Structure 1
Amino acid sequence: MEITAVKAIPLSHDLEEGRSFGGTRGMTGSRETTLVRLEADDGTVGWGEAFASPRAVAALVEDVFADAVIGLSPLAAPSLAERVYTGDIGGYDTGRQAFVQCALTGIEVAMWDLRGKQLGVPIHKLLGGRGIESVVPYASTMYVTEWDQDPAEPMEAAAEEGFTAAKIKIGRGLEDDRHRVETAREILGDDAHIMVDYNGNYTPRQAVKSINNLSSYDLTWVEEPVPPENLSGYREIKNRVDVPLAAGEAHFGRFEFKRLIDEQLVDVIQPNLGQCGGFAEAQFLAKLATTENVLVRPHVWNSGVGTAAALQFAASLPDYPNAPEMAPEPFLFEFDRSENPLRHDILETPLDPTGGSLSVPQKSGLGVTVDETALERYRIG
């Protein structure tokens, strides 16, 4: 099997006027991404996602990556990142940049999708997974909204859908932080896992004060309390709080993740399978992390394709340091609950996180089928 065609498909869905939402460092009025479609000489199609500004990353896929990939066997997927870092693809001075990493991810994941379909097995088995059939989804919700939504509303919706865990947006001040966390805890109950996401909107001193002010709510982890580039800030917070820290959605490439791990700045890394370099890179990061006893929990705010990729990766992760079937906590998997038809409309069978459990697709490759007719509703030029 050889790759004969590479196509980048930029997608966008505009939200209704007045319905922008997001976190403390910005809101969005649309949902956007780029899918990568690879076709092999036998007609098999593989899909990946490059989670970045659609037109820009689509141009990068087709202008820089396509010629390098056409003619390759999908078996070459694990070597693609090395070719980018050394400059064989794109030039040596750009390989660590964010958009290049996103384009690389879309191509590489699509190659793995082809590999799985060629062999008739899901990607998590190709990656050596131990056969996990489901994970515990956590609702990514309680966003900052343009219409000033009551924070209880999205949390009540998550509870009605059967979620037993949630991640919420905070970072607008001590009083608001506490109100939001208290609301989430009251609605989901004492046994629920509650994570908070500051989106990097605080200084280290502000973050420490906020985190300590929330100590009575038993947070599972604190995500991005300071900007991603503020590594000294992570170090300062880590030394002054007793809650696990998480980061990774805004870090690109193995070298940035390696610093987070080597310097023990976080307790959880969160590679995104639309940005991190692909499955082989994600596995490499997982090995670095587990060597230092750092958890790996993918960040997921993607389309249905990127979500499926994250599920396949999650099912491949080791239990270390826990013995098999002896993990003291469930594997928590992020599932966005905001409006995004790119997550469900473009799949023939959408992923279903309701009821407190999310099945890992067991069909070959990514385990999902893209509805190419539906893609045309969201495709942009």
Structure 2
Amino acid sequence: MKISSVDVIQCNCLENPAFRPIICRINTDEGIYGYGEAAVAYGTGAPAAFGMIKDFATLIIGKDPMNIEAIWDTLMKTTFWGQGGGTIIFAGISAIDMALWDIKGKVFGVPIYKLLGGKTNSKLRTYASQLQLGWDKNLKIGWGQACEPGSAPERYAETAKIAISQGYDCIKIDFLNYNRQGFAHTHKQLTKPLTYEVMHLAEERLTAVREAVGNEVDIIIENHCGTDAVSAVQFGRLAEKFNIFYYEEPVTPLNPEMTKYVAERVKIPIAQGERIYGRWAYIPFLKDHSVQVIQPDIGNCGGITEAKKICDMAHAYDVSVQTHVCGSPIAKAAALQLETTLPNFLIHEHHVINMAPYITELGVYDYQPVNGYYTVPEVPGIGQELSQKALDNADIVTVK
């Protein structure tokens, strides 16, 4: 079997143009193909990932798709820029690697979790993610948009209750992102010492949500690296009394010492990872014990091959795993395949966008949690394909 061509695909979500999933489909001379995703669908960077996959594709034509490790090593070490790492390099590698695993699962007729060691988790606990945006499948998310449910603490509480009524016993909210008027706080407002107004608003929201959901529901604080080390400690100490499950991205991961600074001063487990790429970049966070939950995104950390290594390495440091999932149905399916194999799996992220029709219609299958739990798809490969509608509306370039 040989790789005969690679289709590089930008999915166009007509109802939300701000969301641009970048997919690759690797085709073989035996008619078996596989799908993978570069997880940079939102924010800026999608066109760069499209170009990165197109460039990488020229290096794998004619290769045996079953030699996944060798292809990964080639992309990393013989492309000059590969060993410099970064979002786009690793997103390109991730998409190709994921597609190769999809092919391998289809060749053997099994879901890829069986090739990764089998199940250690029969059910995957799942949390409702990004409730500051609302919890509605018809929500259209744009980068930097106004807060959908409103800025009042009562609206945060109401949204939390909706998610809990659907069976979730864990939720995640960014309590600092929006001001009282429902617009995003500026960078200057969330870095440097926080003002009384920002702290008071955050405490009001935390209080409202905790009272609404009770003590048996876990709350994750999302921070999107919006704070710096000083303000992250301020907010973290304020949040300690609310029994927070973990504190995500309190600071940028670019300087690992700042994550350590926060971890040493806040009595809440710290999570980092959706913007950390490759096993090497995780080493300082594991060695200094500054992170208790890692959040690798399989679509930008280096793919399934690399994510498994990162998670196994974290296991040696007693660090748990919650993969980051905010992409197309391709990325979600791949995450479920990996998570079911991990002894150190903690919880699965169910982003509000994963319910939106303009996202779910991109896949042949619509996998949704039941009473706050997922089970892994039993379909050969990663368990997902792009729908015909997705392909009909996509921009596609084929590399042969």
Query: Shorter-normalised TM-score: what interval?
Result: 0.7 to 0.9
Change (3 A) 1:14 1:214: farther
Q: Does 1:183 align with 2:199?
A: no
Q: Which residue of 1 aligns with 2:350?
A: 335
User: Do the aligned partners of 1:11 and 1:32 also contact (CA within 8 Å) in 2?
Assistant: yes
The offset of 1:176, in angstroms, is: 2.7
TM-score, structure 1 as length reference: 0.87
Report the equivalent of 1:306.
331
Whether the 8 Å CA contact 2:35–2:102 is kept in 1: the answer is yes
Amino acid at match of 2:212: I
Distance 1:288 1:342, change over 3 A: farther
Aligned with 1:273: secondary structure? coil
Could you tell which deviates more after superposition, 139-148 or 307-316?
A: 139-148
Q: Which residue of 1 aligns with 2:106?
A: 117
Unmatched runs of 5 consecutive residues or more in structure 2: 134-144, 150-154, 178-197
* Aligned-partner residue type, residue 104 of structure 1: I
Question: Residue 45 of structure 1 corresponds to which residue in structure 2?
Answer: 33
Paired with 2:95 and 2:228, the residues of 1 have a C-alpha distance of 34
Shift of 1:92: 4.6
The answer to whether the Cα contact below 8 Å between 1:12 and 1:30 also exists between their aligned partners in 2 is no
User: Relative to 1, partners in 2 of residues 1:203 and 1:314: Cα closer, same or farther, differing over 3 Å?
Assistant: same
Paired residue secondary structure (2:36): strand
Residue-by-residue CA offset, 1:155-210 (whole Å, 9 max, x unaligned) = 23312322111111123532232233333323333111210111111122211121
Q: Tell me how large the CA RMSD over aligned residues is.
A: 2.2
Kept in 2: contact 1:142–1:154 (CA 8 A): yes
| Secondary structure of 1:214 counterpart | helix
TM-superposed deviation, 1:95: 4.5
* Counterpart-to-counterpart distance in 2, 1:154 and 1:15: 23
C-alpha displacement of 1:82: 2.2
Residues 12-63 of structure 1 deviation map (CA, whole Å, 9 limit, x = unaligned): 33657xxxxxxxxxxxx7222201111121211200101123322112111x
After superposition, what is the alpha-carbon deviation per residue over 1:248-286, rounded to whole angstroms, capped at 9, x for unaligned? 011122221122112222111111011010111111111
Map of 2:308 onto structure 1: 283
Query: Secondary structure of 2:385's partner?
Result: coil
Following the alignment from structure 1 to structure 2, what is the Cα–Cα distance between the partners of residues 180 and 77?
47
1:77 to 61, 68, 75: 68
C-alpha separation in 2, matches of 1:148 and 1:349: 28
Note if contact 1:246-1:269 (Cα within 8 Å) is conserved in structure 2: yes
Change (3 A) 1:12 1:228: farther
- Name structure 1 gaps, 5 residues minimum: 17-28, 320-329
Greater mean alpha carbon deviation, residues 273-282 or residues 258-267: 258-267
SS of aligned partner of 1:47: strand
Greater share of strand: 1
Larger deviation: 158-167 or 140-149?
A: 140-149
Matched letter for residue 205 of structure 1 = V
- Give the 3 Å change call, closer, same or farther, for CA 188–69 of structure 1 in structure 2: farther
Is 1:212 the counterpart of 2:237? The answer is yes
Name the residue aligned to 2:282.
257
- C-alpha distance in structure 2 between counterparts of 1:139 and 1:93, whole Å: 35
Q: TM-score, normalised by structure 2?
A: 0.83
> What's the CA shift for 1:6?
0.4
Letter of the aligned partner of 1:335 in structure 2? H
Give the paired residue count. Answer: 356
The secondary structure found in structure 2 opposite 1:143 is helix
Q: Deviations over 1:297-356 (max 9, x none)?
A: 11111111001111111012124xxxxxxxxxx831000113644531112220112422
